[in-house]
Every structure is written in structure tokens, then in C-alpha cells.
Chain A
Amino acid sequence: MHTPPASEIPAQLIALFAALMLVAQLLLAVQRMLLTSIRLFAIQSLFLAGIAGVVAYSHNAFHVYVVVVLTLIGKVMFLPWLLDRQVRKMKIVQEIEPLVNFPTSMLVCGGLTLLGYLVARPFTSLERLGNNTLAVAITLVLTGFFLMINRRKAITQVLALLTIENGVMLAAVALTTYGMPLVVELGIFFDVLVAVMILGILVYRIRETFESMDISKLSQLKG
């Protein structure tokens, strides 16, 4: 086994973290316990922060450090804490049976990963970081979407939305030379923050009104 040259170490690190993000996503897809799901999301965000940190360090890009800090504070600590509190407050431990059962979900996620890699292939030459980071990003978005469709609890849907957002962030770091303009990143970040806070309140209200967090009950609202 040969040791990679020093210039490749960041790239290898990024590939490792990206792979770990994907693993966290797949685990999330088959996780029934809400609290564990939240923790998985926090771990995934931690890896994202890691990737951003490596990029910032190796390119000496100051504003990417800002992204690192925001990710650490927001997605690794604040949002999981918020959701955690919500779940504890509502005393709900488990997700009910999803639309597609867990083994099948795993298979679907595998298929989506394959699709992600296929879609990303033409762009590998554009990719600054190499190592299929873009493919992972696309896969995160796709599986996140699937997760949103598959699950019924509002909290899991929020988590799925957040993983989609992680995928978008990863793509931004992977594809563009200096990351996206800081404004855009800040914009996305605050969007997500606000969205989650509103969703948190809504989830609570849904529960208050329908005695359940099952969003399929919402169809009763249709006139």
C-alpha cells in the first residue's frame, strides 16, 4: 500500500468524508427511531463541515471558513437540538411503518445512488475535488427526496429536507472554484433555518390539532 503524496491528502480526506455522508444517509433511510435519525443527521452535517474545512484550508478561502462555522453551529448543534427537544416534548419515539418497507427502501436508495453516479459522470472533469463528490451530492438530494416521500412523520420529513440541503451544499463546495458566493450560501442557510423553525411550530400545531404527527391526516384540510 503506497502513501499518497501530500497534495492528494485533502482530496482523499474529502472523498472519505463524502463517503461517510452517504453512509449516514443510507442509515437514515432505514432508521426507525426518531432520536437516532436526528443524531445521524448531525453526524452527516459534521462530515459536511469537515469537507468544507478541508476545502477552506487547502484553498485558503476565508469565506468557506464562515460556512464551516455556520454549519457547525447551525446544523451540527442548533437544529438537532431543536428537533430533539421537539421530539422529547411530544414523547414520540418511533416512526410508524413507512410507505415502502425498509428492505425495499434500501434497494431503492441503492438504485438512486447508481443514478446519481451515472448523472454525475459527464461532469467529473469539471469537478475540482474529483473523487465523485458531485455524485454523492446528487445521491444525497435524490435519496433525501425519496425519504421525504417515504416517511409519514413530519419530523422525519424535516430531516429529509435537511439532508437534501446538505447535498446542495456539498455540490456547491464540490463544483465551484471558490464555493458559491457567500451571499448565496448565507441565503440558503438562513432559508433552511427559518424553514425548520416554521416547520417545528407547524409540526407542533399539527399534533395539537390532529392528535398525531402523521401528515397524511393533512388531506382532511382539502376542501
Chain B
Amino acid sequence: MEPLPLTLLFLTLLGYLAGVVASMACLRAGKTANLCACCIAALAAVSGVAASVTGLLSGAAGPHDSVQILPALLPYVHFSIRPDPLGLFFTLIVSLIGLAVAVYSLGYNRQFLGKKNLGVFGAFFNSALLATTLVFLADNAFFFLIAWEIMAMSAYFLVSFEHEKEESRNAGVLFFVMSHIGTGCLILGFLLLFKASGGYEFDGFHAIGATMAAGPRNAAFILFLVGFGVKAGVIPVHIWLPVAHPAAPSNVSALMSGVLIKTGIYGLTRVFFDFMGAPPNWWGVTVLTLGIVSAVLGVLYALMEHDLKRLLAYHSIENIGIILTGLGTALMFLHSGHPLLASLALVAGLYHTINHAVFKALLFLGAGVVVHATHTRNMEEMGGLVKRMPRTALCFLIAAVAISALPPLNGFVSEWLTYQSLLQGFGTTQSLIRLMFPFGGAMLALTGALAAACFVKAYGITFLAQPRSECAARAEEAGWQEIAGQVLLTLACVVLGLFPAQFVRLLDPVTLQLAGHALSSQLSLADGLVLAGATPSGGTVSTLGLSLMALCLVPVPLALWWMFSRGTSVRRGPTWDCGLQGLTPRMEYTATGFSKPIRMIFKALFRPRREVQREYDFSPYFARNLRFESHVEEVFQTRIYRPLNWLVWRASRRMRALQAGSLQAYLIYIFATLLLLLVFAL
């Protein structure tokens, strides 16, 4: 590794550390603390972006040495980092999102001034960024787990930052519990790897899977899948995600959805492609299936949500599913001996990782502004915001187009790459399992269509038409800091969408490291203007060309209009209201109404329950009052987690008999155990 990126990396880490210290130093001065924390975090993040980009551009080949950043205190525990391409790529993601969120927080956090301690916020914000960066760079399992836990703790405190709300406290606890279940699995997984390699260095874990027996190897696969899956929010271990994301302040939601859940993806990629190697077929099939299930169910639940932030949280599950689809496909290709296609699928997955980080963070930032302005997260009480906050509306629109995978933005590019790898998979094997590929592609298409429908709803109900409540009518645009944070990510969306062939060069060292192929030369045609499907049978697409063509076509209707409108006069009138006394917000299409057809189609899944109560005087057709309630069952909560919860409670009630509440009794338990063990040892 060249010295420059390494120096920049150290600067980044020290910067975040300085951010923690500075925020702690001015605990009592909220304004200064916020200024310090956000500015320092932003600077450190800039350095992180520079470090990872230069590192990825220069460090294509060669070994990557690990560097001790703290002296080792105990055997096996080395505080060493190894900036290899995979780690650097994820560092790029965390730095980019960290930068935008830091800038945004400068303004957004002003609402907490005088109410909450912003020094605490700044400290945990910086420590979350620091720990996440270390998670991506750590070269030792212990160090990794330490960083992992610091990250989880910081996130916990950030989620429950508004701890005076019961919702935030509960969300924090749920996150905490789920996160620890995951960490437990990770510890067991690393112990299995330790047994095989005799050390805790990630370097020693490289391709360790090949030397392991099938039993421990598969056990390690499942443990890591669950452990990292919890953090990534893969269905069915996703339940913390739609609870924690809405409860957190929106800048934290952006950080969590953009970066935190990507640590799960990082872990899965690291384990599957770096540690394990040569996967059995069922691994790939499992990951692909989980990906498809998460994608489809995630978007379906998102469609049913009227809480803007919960909707976005469910979309995170969907997008994690799309990323897993890429990773699972890559695993299947590795199994069937197609490293080139595996690289393509990996590029698709990783590309979607950074894309999702960018547009989801952007959507959460936008939602933050909206929620702050309207004092509600319920979309049914918004509306008409495009006139009140045009800049936020534009950024939100671009992000919505990106997440709906519409060309020419970034979501389209990565989903297109995913389709390419899925479609080319059909020919790689003769077994029936190849049907997975077209099926996956079909499900992905369904997901894309539903996501587009969902964002038509999210954008339309929130920003268009007339305001549905007093608060929405009085909403105000945010300050320049919030806008700057959003614009930054909007630009990233556009750049990642228009110049994919240039961007995949950054992914070259990553795929070279993990699957043995650098793809950028095969992926770009015509000097990088056109993105190709890497193999001769693959398709081609040019987002830049599409947008240029669109730009060229704009003058045509303008010219036609100009030609035919000469001599006619323009008259402006009110919107046609069917002869009623003017249009009111009560006549607007509601979010519930909009998603009704889909609720009906997927009735078996949603089990919708609705309740209508009429109060009338003489005829039911002239109701005085109408109460309408509609619910969607959350299958995983009611069918899996509630029975599980009940079992745990019952078991712990049984255990209560042991808890006499007397210190002596506890001591006797321990003492008796100790004596028994000693006597047996004799």
C-alpha cells in the first residue's frame, strides 16, 4: 500500500477520535459541540473519501500489509488494520455518507438546541463513524468484534437519543437485543475459524474454508449468515430495522440505513469470498433465496406503510435483498466455476451497496426535513410540500427515481448489472437449479415495479397536491446546511448513474481480490460511454447516452408547441372540479387508497383487517360520522417472534424459582458448583 492513502486513513481515524474528544469537551455548550463534532467529522470523512479513492486506484495488486495502530496487550488480540480493497471500498461508502450527514447535521441538530445535550450526540456520532471505519479495516477478529460492539453501542445511544419518547427507548432496546444475538453468532463463527487456522488474524483466515471439514464449515456459514444478516436486516431477522430507523433522529436514520446495515453486507462479503472460498452450491442458493425473499417482502411491506420513515426502512430491507441477490449469484457462479461471471455478480452487488447507501441516506435526510417541518411522520397528514420546500422536494424526487431503478440514475445501473448476471446464469449449469436465475430475475423485476409504485405513492402523497393538515400548510424549507448535505448525495446519485463505466474501475481491485477478475475493461465500451454486460452474450446500456438523447429530444416538443401555438391565446383557470364547490384536501387520493389494489392482490400475505363504524341518524347513506380503520398483519412479528418471546418468558418464569433474592443463596450456588467441580477433578 502506498504511504499516501495510509496517512490519509490515519488522519481519518484520528479525526473521528478528535471529534469524540471535542464533543465531550464541550458537553455544556450545545452549539459549539455540534459545530465541532460535525465539522471535524466532515473533514475526517473528506480525508476518508480521498484515502479510499486513491487507495483503490493505486492498490490494484500486491499484498496489503497490516499495520498495528495500538500495541498488543494480550496474546491473539492485535489492534491492526489492513486497508485491502474490500475494506477501502466500504470505507469509501462510510466516508461519503458520513460527510453528507455531518454537513446536514450542522443544521438539522439545531432543533435539539437547549432541549438535548448535543455534545453527547456529537460524541456518539463520531464514535459510530470511527468504529464503522475500523470494522471495515480491522485485520484481527478480536479487534473487529471490539469495533463492531462500539459501533452497535454508539448506534444504540443515537437511536435512543430522544429517550424521553417511549418509542425511541423501545426501539433502542429491540435494536440492542437483536444486535447482540447477531454478535453472539459472530463470536461462535470466529471461534470456528480460529480452530481451523490457529490465529485470529484475518490474513490467516484467507481461504481457510478449503481446509475445514464440511460440518464446521457449514456451521460457520450459518453462524455468519445469521450474525451479519441481523445487522444487514435480512428477512426474517429484520424486525429491529423498521422499528429503530423511524425512532431515531433522521440524520441517524440516514447513517444507519446508509452505512450501519452495510457492515452486515461487508461481513458477508468478507466471509464468503475472502475466508471461505469454493462454496458448496446450497450456500449460493440460500443467499440468493434470502435475497429474493427480502427484496419482495421488503417492498410489499413498504407499500403498506404510511409512516414515511418506516416506509423507507422497509425499502432498506428490499435493497439489502437486491444486494444479497448479487452476492448469492456470485457464490453460485464460484461454485460452478465461472469466476468471470462471479466477478460480474459481485460488481453488481457491491455497486448496489454504494448506490443504496447514497440514495437511501438522501431519502432519510429529505424525510428528516419533511418530518421536522410537518411534525408528523404520517404521510396522510402531509401533501403540497413541493411548493413549500422545493429544494428538498427536488432532491427527494431524484432519490426516488434512483431507488425505483429508473434510468439514467444509479439504482438503474446496479440493478441492470444484477439482471445481467442473473440472465447469464441460466447457461452456466445443467441442473434444475438454473431455474433459480430466471426466477430471481422475474422477482427482481416485480420488486422494481412495486418499488416504483411505492415511490409514486411516497412522493405523490407527501409532496404533491394540497396540504392535508395545518402543519403541512405551514411547513418551511430547511436551512442551507440540510440542503447542502442533500445536494451532495444527489450529485453522487447522478454521477454514479451517468458514469458507471468509470466508477467500476474502483471496483477492479475488489473483484480481483475476491473472485480473481478485474472487469472494468470488459464492462466499458466506447471509451466508457457504454456499459456492457462483461461477456459477449451480455447486453449493453448507456445511461449517459440515454440522458443526452433525452436532452436532445426536449427541443422537439418545444418546437412543435411553438409552431402550433402561434396565434392562440393562453388562458389560466382553476383545476376542473367536476362542478363541485372547489377542491379540498379531503377529496385527495390517500396513501391507503393508493396501495389498496396491491393490498388486495397480496391478501394472503397481508391479511388486511378493516373496521368501519358508521354513526347515522335516519339512513346509513347519510352518515354523521364515519370511522375507518385498516390494519395489515406483520406476519413475522405475530407468527415467529411473538411465540418465541412467549417461550422465553415462560422459561424465565421457571428459572425464577432459583432466584431467591438472597445473596447468600446465590453464593451457595456458586460455591456448591465450585466444590463439585473440584471434587470431580480429584
Seen from chain A, the residues whose Cβ lies within 8 Å of a Cβ on chain B are 99, 115, 118-119, 142, 145-146, 148-149, 152, 157, 181, 183, 215-216, 218-219, 221-222
Contact = CB atoms under 8 A, between A and B. Distances in A.
Interface string B68-94: 000001100000000000000000000
Contacts, number: 40
Nearest to B678: A119
Nearest to A121: B682
Given A119-B678, A183-B74, A216 B667 contact: no
17 contacts: A99-B664, A115-B675, A118-B682, A119-B678, A145-B671, A146-B671, A148-B667, A157-B663, A181-B74, A183-B74, A215-B663, A215-B664, A216-B664, A218-B663, A219-B660, A219-B661, A221-B661
A202 B318 CA distance: 50
Contact of B73 (A118, A183, A222): A183
Contacts of B662: 216, 218-219
A163 B675 CA distance: 18
B682 A119 contact: yes
Contact of B667 (A119, A145, A218): A145
Contacts of A118: 682
Nearest to A152: B664
Contacts of B682: 118-119
Query: What's the dominant secondary structure at chain A's contact region?
Result: helix
A145 B664 contact: no
A148 B667 CA distance: 7
B533 to A, nearest CB: 56
Given A115-B678, A119-B678, A119-B682, A149 B667 contact: yes
Given A218-B661, A219-B660, 19 more contacts: A119-B678, A119-B682, A142-B674, A142-B675, A145-B667, A145-B670, A145-B674, A148-B667, A149-B664, A157-B663, A181-B74, A215-B663, A216-B662, A216-B663, A218-B662, A219-B661, A219-B662, A222-B659, A222-B660
B668 interface: yes
B601 interface: no
Contacts of A219: 660-662
A49 B674 CA distance: 27
A216 B74 CA distance: 40
Contacts of B659: 222
B681 interface: yes
Contacts of B678: 115, 119
A5 B671 CA distance: 42
Contacts of A157: 663
Contacts of A181: 74
B668 A149 contact: yes
Nearest to A215: B663
A149 B661 contact: no
Contacts of A119: 678, 681-682
B675 A149 contact: no
A57 B557 CA distance: 97
Interface of B: 73-74, 659-664, 667-668, 670-671, 674-675, 678-679, 681-682
Contacts of B661: 218-219, 221-222
The 4 residue pairs across chains A and B that have the minimum distance between CB atoms: A222-B661, A219-B661, A149-B667, A219-B662
Which secondary structure characterizes the binding site on chain B?
helix
B663 to A, nearest CB: 5
A220 B660 CA distance: 10
Nearest to B674: A145
Nearest to A99: B664
Contacts of B674: 142, 145
B661 to A, nearest CB: 3
A219 B665 CA distance: 10
B136 to A, nearest CB: 28
A115 B661 CA distance: 30
A32 B661 CA distance: 26
A119 B682 CA distance: 6
Nearest to B664: A149
A148 B671 CA distance: 10
A127 B161 CA distance: 54
Contacts of A148: 667
Nearest to A141: B674
A99 B675 CA distance: 19
Nearest to A115: B678
A183 B662 CA distance: 34
A149 B74 contact: no
Nearest to B670: A145
A149 B671 contact: yes
B33 to A, nearest CB: 29
Nearest to A221: B661
Residue among B74, B664, B668, B674 with max Cβ neighbours from chain A (10 Å): B664
A213 to B, nearest CB: 12
Nearest to B73: A183
A212 B618 CA distance: 73
A222 B668 CA distance: 18
A222 B674 CA distance: 26
B666 to A, nearest CB: 9
Nearest to A150: B664
Contacts of B73: 183
A103 B661 CA distance: 28
Most buried by A among B670, B671, B679: B671
Contacts of B664: 99, 149, 152, 215-216
A75 to B, nearest CB: 22
A222 B682 CA distance: 38
A154 to B, nearest CB: 9
Of A115, A149, A219, A222, most buried by chain B (CB within 10 Å of CB) is A149
Contacts of B74: 181, 183
A183 B74 CA distance: 8
A136 to B, nearest CB: 15
Contacts of B681: 119
B578 to A, nearest CB: 64
A208 B662 CA distance: 19
B677 to A, nearest CB: 10
A149 B668 CA distance: 7
A80 to B, nearest CB: 23
Contacts of B675: 115, 142
Contacts of A152: 664
Nearest to B75: A181
A117 to B, nearest CB: 11
A155 B74 CA distance: 34
A216 B671 CA distance: 18
Nearest to B663: A215
A157 B679 CA distance: 25
Contacts of B660: 219, 222
Nearest to B677: A119
Contacts of B671: 145-146, 149
A146 to B, nearest CB: 7
A191 B401 CA distance: 56
Nearest to B679: A115
A221 B661 CA distance: 8
Contacts of A149: 664, 667-668, 671
A13 B459 CA distance: 84
A149 B671 CA distance: 9
Contacts of B668: 149
Contacts of B679: 115
